[in-house]
Amino acid sequence: MRNRDRILKNESFIIVLGMILLMLFFLWIFSRSFAYFNTGASKEDILNEEEYKAAYHTPSFTWADNGNEGREVEDYLKEILSKDYAHAWYYWNIQHKNGFAENSRIFYSMIYTDEFSKIFSAEPLSKKKVNRVDLEHHLDIHLYALDGQVISFTDSAAVIVEEIMNDEGKIIHSKKIEMTLDVVMVFQDAGWTIQHMVPRNIQDHDFPYVDAQIPQAPYYKVGAAASYQRNQQEFRPKGINYYPQAFPWDIWEPFPEDTIRDDLRIIKELGMNTIRIFVGFDEFGKGYVDYEYLEKLRILLDMAEDEDIAVIVTLFDFVGNYELPNWPACDRHLETILKKFRTHPAIFAWDIKNEPDLDFKHAQTDRVINWLEFMLAKARQYDPNHMITIGWSQPEMAYLYEERLDFVSFHYYRKSKDLAVAIQELKQQTNKPVVLGEFGMSTYNSYLFPFGKYEEEQAQYYNEILAVLEQDEIPFISWTLHDFPEVPSKVVGSLPWRKNPQAHFGILKQDGSPKLVADVLADSFDHSTSIQISWIQKVLRPFHVGVLLGIIFVIVGVLLFWKRKLIIQRLNLFSSSS
Amino acid sequence: MLLWVCPHYTDMNRYLAYIFFITFIFSCGKQEVDDLSVTDIDTSQYGFSIIESSIAGDDVWINITGDVSKSNDFYFLIFHPLGRHIMDVNENFMQIPKSWTKRSGEYDVEFYHFNQLIEKKKFQVMPREAIGDLNSYIGPKSIITTINEPCMIIGIPTDTFNNPMMDGTQVAYNLQRPGLDIQNRSISIQKLTSNYVFNAQTLNGKTLVGINCNASYSMEKYVDEEPGWPKQIRISPIPKTLKADGKQFVTISTEQIRDALNNIVMDGTQVTFFLLGDDGSTNQFTSLTVDGKSKIFFQHPRKTMTFQVYAVSGNIKSNTIPLAFETNAKEVPMLLLEEDNLIRIGPITSHLQQFIPDGSKIRYAFYQDGQIMREGTVATQKGMTLIRLEDLVLDPGEYIVECEYEGNTSVMTLNIGN
């Protein structure tokens, strides 16, 4: 009997456990389904996927000016030819990956289309796979038919990047290939079609992409003893990551010019001399950078120059796709922005990517690293005047590529007492100057949020961090100027316990008044003094009070339920006597 | 809930096993294999040579030295004119697939074990002899003689696999120009193509073009050498006396139009005729030439008038000639039929003494003290028409009645008593 009871008891436990797991499973299915049906169709789904992606395949083109036989080459021809030639390459590239490309026949003669079809759809001779993308074409036209129907050109030093992957999809080779192609294209069916293409002078290199030399920037530059200089004067960045209060993470579409001007004055009054801003890749138009947005960026940089504030411009914000087909669009984005502002004196540095190490897991480390190598090399090429860095999310990652950066930048949201050790460890791996690109503490403190902090704690955290930085002479860019009324879901998702804390990292409250931390940031503040927080504050946090009230409420409820008969009896007696 | 999950208690274990199995599957992550370290194989013992014929479509073999059976991780990365392919090594003597090697160009072969490069080689595949169709392009398809317009012929000879020939290969161009002997030219290929440019000569006609390279021949092509724009346009005189009867057509024609080299202009050259009337009207007609002549047909107007006629083609304007249309009717007789309270107009006859066409409109007006009191139009039948005075409801008094047909007017006085 006892044995049977024990078995039943165990089985009941298993049933309850199973029920919980099953419910969690259904909850997961429900949440995924809900998310799927609320996501909406992507552009790739709405448009023809291949066509959409082909439109964003924008490798760079240069044209030799040697003259040619036949008809004079018009600018319009260059535009159309480069577009069709890039499309032809796009479909050639994706055939390596997919084994077929339906639209390739538009850009190749029938003979090529058939051959591609045969060799790419044939049984592979290896389980390893190839991804590739073309990035540069340098065209030298030899012959352009008098009636504009045939063109012959040499594509000198065309640059292709390839990823060779093993059967598990892991990159085993990253290659940069340069080669020369003699090409004949014919204009038919309203487009240019490749008739002949013969490669020669194939140069195959393994990554890194190029070994870029670090030039001496004429504006802001690294000086002696890991300091910074501007116009031969020592300059120590002391700054803040900046978004206008009403438009966090979405500054460029509304672009509140007056607000930004006012904010820059406030930043100056707070004793800061640097801001870090973010340029969204999608927002700015991917490979086709919107001139209107470039103009807005120029206005912001000009305003910063007027206020004598240096600007770190962080590029490729919200880019999580490091796959090869996205590289040409990233390259055009980089080229357009950097070439436009390469002589702007307000730019302290280009921050190539914000926290790319967070993408190592989902995008494959090698792929992210290859992308960074490529972008670093290109950034040097497009703007040799300004400094370049990468905003790593952790100090442990910040040594990566330090030899190719002007200074090392990392972000820090951990305990203040561990910062000194992290900096020391980093300094053992690099001689480059270090900048703390982000740090801060949220003052969100709610009855429902267990990790809430007071303004005093934020001030204390800043004070401790700044004390370490002062000791190591490390410049900083804190996070952030304002408390925000709303944080877009694209930043941290839509869950309130993630969004609300993110909205309260500011030095200024939502009403614009400064928090205690503003005093700590003043130059005159002595960081050796400690900021005390009373034990009452520590114990009676809103969440603790909430929990206490909840417990009391439950106890009272249970007591009322337990003694309900007695209470009803008493109430009846009271009513009958009255 | 429990009953739904386990309808029968005895099935409970089976359901639970199922739940745990699913949970286990979902909780299992894929174990990442990070270690691609090279095995114990000494790769310095390995290498390869390429046995090639250098001609597109021939067999290309790779001979590998070293025992490849020791590992399954040997492979080749081959970059060829159609792309990049990977070939796992499973024997010492391997053929590169013919579907790759039939393309001419440079081939880059790398021999790897795991991700360690053992050896790297290049080889060149040449096109075979030119044979079959020769790709040729001619443009423009027609050239104008008067401006010495150039025409380009492009020849791209290929082999059986559509590989273009190497630079320096000679391509023969044969041309039969209008009125000239066959001309032969030999042009060498540069950057996959050869081309020959010739200019239009003084004679118009067809130039026939043939291109060949070894056993490769183009389809016969031709270029039209067309005359140029008209040098002068003259309108032929129109001698007849024309009547404004609104029924007939007059033909206006140009003389044969020729270009600066005295060639008759191309059929289909557009000529626009302008007819400017003395009443301020403008008529415009477009016509195309046939055998150098262009003509239009123009309907006689219904009233007397004179046009100034000229023609334009391109920026060339012809002479201007007058074109006059006389009245069709001699007179418009008008008679008061007091008994019937009618006015009879007609019979109106034309210049050949026939009635004017039925339905011809005659305008009438009744004036009193210089003021129009009634007016309207009536249509003729057999050259006549009637105006019924009762219908006009005129006050007593004296009226001037006026009738007009194609510019001819008659007037009479009419007294209407109480």
Q: Residues of A numbered 72-101 whose beta carbons fall under 8 angstroms of chain B's beta carbons: which are they? A: 92, 95-96
Q: What is the pLDDT of residue A201?
A: 92
Residue B413: pLDDT over 70? yes
In tens, the pLDDT along A543-553 reads: 888 889 999 99
Residue A45: pLDDT over 50? no
Q: Residues of B numbered 210-269 whose beta carbons fall under 8 angstroms of chain A's beta carbons: which are they? A: none
Beta B321-326 vs B316-317: how paired, if at all? unpaired
Q: Are residues B297 and B384 in the same domain?
A: no
Does B139 contact A95 at a Cβ distance shorter than 8 Å?
no
In tens, the pLDDT along A480-536 reads: 999 999 898 888 888 888 889 999 999 999 999 999 999 999 988 888 888 888 888
**Higher-scoring residue by pLDDT: B395, A439:** A439
In tens, the pLDDT along B190-243 reads: 999 999 999 998 888 899 999 999 888 998 889 999 888 888 999 987 766 677
Residue B29: pLDDT over 60? no
Give the domain extent around B76.
45-125
Q: CA angle, corner B237, sides to B235 and B240, nearest 5?
A: 140
Q: Are residues B83 and B58 in the same domain?
A: yes
Please give the Cα distance from A525 to A271 (Å, whole number). Answer: 11
- What is the crossing angle of helices A75-98 and A110-121, to 10°? 30
- Candidates A127, A195, A205: best to mutate against B (most CBs of B within 10 A) is A195
B321: in domain: yes
Q: What is the pLDDT of residue A49?
A: 57
Residue A149: pLDDT over 80? yes
The shortest C-alpha distance from A5 to chain B (Å) reads 15
- Read off the pLDDT of each residue in A144-164 and give the average, rounded to a whole number: 94
Q: Which of A29-43, A271-285, B310-324, B326-340 has the lowest mean pLDDT?
A: A29-43
Give the pLDDT band (50/70/90) at residue B244.
Answer: low
Q: What are phi and psi of A412, to 5 degrees?
A: -145, 115
Q: What is the pLDDT of residue B417?
A: 75
| Cα distances (angstroms) measured from residue A303 to each of A235, A255, A265, A311, A343 | 19, 13, 10, 11, 15
**Domain tally, chain B:** 4
Q: What is the pLDDT of residue B36?
A: 40
The shortest C-alpha distance from B324 to chain A (Å) reads 49
B36 chain-A contacts, CB cut-off 8 A? 166, 170, 172
The shortest C-alpha distance from A493 to chain B (Å) reads 23
CATH of the domain at B364: 2.60.40.1930
B28: in domain: no
State which of B191, B226, B261 marks the end of a domain. Answer: B226
Q: What is the pLDDT of residue A9?
A: 64
Peptide bond into A480 cis (omega under 30): yes
Q: Are residues B294 and B345 in the same domain?
A: no
In tens, the pLDDT along B345-355 reads: 988 887 777 78
Q: What is the pLDDT of residue A209?
A: 67
B110 chain-A contacts, CB cut-off 8 A? 204
Tell me, yes or no, if A205 comes closer than 8 A to chain B by beta carbon: no
Full 3-state SS string of B44-67: HHCEEEEECCCECCCCEEEEEECC
Supply A161's token pair: 């990047």
What single-letter DSSP state applies at residue A89?
H
Give the pLDDT band (50/70/90) at residue A307.
Answer: very high
Which of B80, B49, B75 lies closest to A173 in space, CA to CA? B75
State which of B305, B326, B347 marks the end of a domain. Answer: B326
Q: Residues of B numbered 42-81 whose beta carbons fall under 8 angstroms of chain A's beta carbons: which are they? A: 75, 77, 79, 81
Which residues touch B99 (CB under 8 Å, ≥6 apart)?
A115, A118, A119, A122
Q: CA angle, corner A289, sides to A285 and A294, nearest 5?
A: 115
In tens, the pLDDT along B75-128 reads: 999 999 999 999 999 899 999 998 899 999 999 999 999 888 999 999 999 999
B81: in domain: yes
| Cα distances (angstroms) measured from residue A538 to each of A445, A532, A535, A543, B242 | 12, 11, 5, 11, 117
Q: What is the pLDDT of residue A492?
A: 83
3-class state of residue B409 by DSSP: strand
Does B154 contact A14 at a Cβ distance shorter than 8 Å?
no
In tens, the pLDDT along B262-315 reads: 888 888 999 999 999 998 999 999 999 999 999 998 887 777 788 999 999 988
In tens, the pLDDT along A400-426 reads: 888 889 999 999 999 999 999 999 999
The amino acid that residue B138 corresponds to is I
Q: What is the pLDDT of residue A216?
A: 60
- Read off the pLDDT of each residue in A364-383 and give the average, rounded to a whole number: 92
Q: Are residues B315 and B360 in the same domain?
A: no
In tens, the pLDDT along A251-265 reads: 999 999 999 999 999
Q: What is the percent of chain A with per-residue pLDDT over 90, rounded to a whole number?
A: 58
Q: What is the pLDDT of residue B178?
A: 87
> Is it true that domain A51-206 has CATH number 3.20.20.540?
no
Q: What is the pLDDT of residue A410?
A: 96
Tell me, yes or no, if A25 comes closer than 8 A to chain B by beta carbon: yes
Q: What is the pLDDT of residue B28?
A: 46
**CB-CB contact of B406 with B244 (8 Å):** yes
Q: Are residues B338 and B317 in the same domain?
A: no
Residue A55: pLDDT over 60? yes
Q: What is the pLDDT of residue A101?
A: 72
Q: What is the pLDDT of residue A207?
A: 76
State which of B97, B125, B153 marks the end of a domain. Answer: B125
Residue A350: pLDDT over 60? yes
**CB-CB contact of A404 with A213 (8 Å):** no
ipTM of the complex: 0.78
Which residues touch A165 (CB under 8 Å, ≥6 apart)?
A128, A129, A130, A131, A171, A172
CATH of the domain at B140: 2.60.40.10
DSSP characters for B90-126?
-SSEEEEPHHHHTS-EEEEEEEEETTEEEEEEEEEEB
B88: in domain: yes
**CB-CB contact of A320 with A357 (8 Å):** no
B9: in domain: no
Q: What is the pLDDT of residue B87?
A: 92
How far out from the chain centre does Cα A310 lie? 21
Q: What is the pLDDT of residue B54?
A: 83
Mean pLDDT across chain A: 88
Supply A506's token pair: 């500011």
In tens, the pLDDT along A109-132 reads: 888 888 888 888 888 888 899 999
Residue B32: pLDDT over 60? no
| Residue boundaries of the structural domains of chain A | 1-40, 51-206, 220-538, 545-577
B84 chain-A contacts, CB cut-off 8 A? 96, 130, 132, 162
In tens, the pLDDT along A449-474 reads: 888 899 999 999 999 999 999 998 89
Q: At the topology level of CATH, where does A220-538 sit?
A: TIM Barrel (3.20.20)
Peptide bond into A208 cis (omega under 30): yes
Mean pLDDT across chain B: 84
Q: Which of A73-82, A304-313, A343-352, B130-139 has the lowest mean pLDDT?
A: B130-139
Please give the Cα distance from A277 to A298 (Å, whole number). Answer: 13
Tell me, yes or no, if B133 comes closer than 8 A to chain A by beta carbon: no
Please give the Cα distance from B108 to B124 (Å, whole number). Answer: 9
